[in-house]
């Protein structure tokens, strides 16, 4: 299976959740394959990665996209690609 994103999905970059569940929060997708074998999807109250943070783990980048779809997220990325 192809494990490449099909949309503008940025790893290690903060983005504002503009639409969907958690609108107004910040999201960051972390490639954690070397440690956990998958990806962490972290949400924060603000761009300083506030202590009010939540995370979810998924296995593939395709699963990350499905997670975004399920949440109805539309993201405005706020940092340049890494």
Q: Which pLDDT value is given to residue 76?
A: 94
Q: Which pLDDT value is given to residue 1?
A: 45
Class of residue 39 by CB neighbours under 10 A (exposed 0-12, middle 13-18, buried 19+):
buried
Residue range of the domain that includes 45: 15-77
pLDDT tens-place string over residues 11-67: 999 999 999 999 999 999 999 999 999 999 999 999 999 889 999 999 999 999 999
In a domain, 4, yes or no: no
In a domain, 29, yes or no: yes
In a domain, 53, yes or no: yes
pTM: 0.87
- Count CB-CB contacts under 10 A for residue 14: 19
Domain count, the chain: 1
């Amino acid at each position: 299976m192809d494990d490449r994103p099909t949309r503008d999905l940025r790893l290690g970059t903060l983005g504002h959740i503009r639409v969907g569940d958690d609108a107004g929060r910040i999201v960051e997708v972390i490639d954690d394959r070397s440690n956990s074998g998958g990806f962490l999807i972290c949400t924060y109250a603000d761009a300083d990665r506030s202590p009010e943070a939540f995370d979810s783990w998924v296995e593939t980048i395709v699963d990350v996209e499905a997670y975004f779809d399920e949440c109805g997220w539309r993201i405005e990325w706020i940092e340049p690609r890494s």
